[in-house]
Amino acid sequence: MSDFLSFSMGKHEARFPTDRLYSRRHLWLLDQGNSVFRVGFTDYSVRLLQDVYFLEWSVNEGDEVRDRQEIGEIESAKAVSSMFPPCAGTVLTFNPALLQDPSGINVDNYGSGWLYDFQTAQPVLTAEQYLEFLNSAWEDAQRTIKGQVNEG
């Protein structure tokens, strides 16, 4: 892998390889050529989710999806969360290993724990732009996390 940028999440550090692009939805996109990207969760999202143990897709391979369209759900130790694409595009293939056992997301989110291949011509963020986005949104995220802890 390439160089990393890092973001401090309190006691933990989230790392972001600089060899890929990012989405504000905390997804990484690794260029596979011809406007096709391999997509997965960033360290930031994996740390917030904690242990992922269930993954279900509500779209099929080959489906065109809109920006902000729900494409599936993920269940973790923390919550059940809806999943959204990084932007508008086409879901080409799902990671077959995760369909059998989604815990690969917890172990190798930047490698074998990828989610799906996705075709898009939409603009996404560089690693540096994603880090700027996290820095600007971290204060709000901490308030949300503390609110969830206080509610639980």
Rounded to an integer, what distance in angstroms lies between the CA atom of residue 152 and that of residue 147?
Answer: 9
Residue 6: pLDDT band by 50, 70, 90 thresholds?
confident
Quick one: tokens of 46? 């994996």
15-26 pLDDT, tens digit per residue, is 889 999 999 899
First to last CA, the chain: 38
Does residue 71 register a pLDDT over 70?
yes
Mean predicted confidence (pLDDT) in 28-40? 95
Residue 5: pLDDT band by 50, 70, 90 thresholds?
confident
Go through the domains of the chain in sequence order and give each one's CATH number. Answer: 4-151 (2.40.50.100)
Quick one: tokens of 4? 């990393």
Rounded to an integer, what distance in angstroms lies between the CA atom of residue 111 and that of residue 1?
Answer: 9
pLDDT reported for residue 122: 81
SS in 3 state form for 13-81? EEEEECCCEEECCCEEEEEEECCEEEEEECHHHHHHHCCEEEEEECCCCCCEECCCCCCEEEEECCCEE
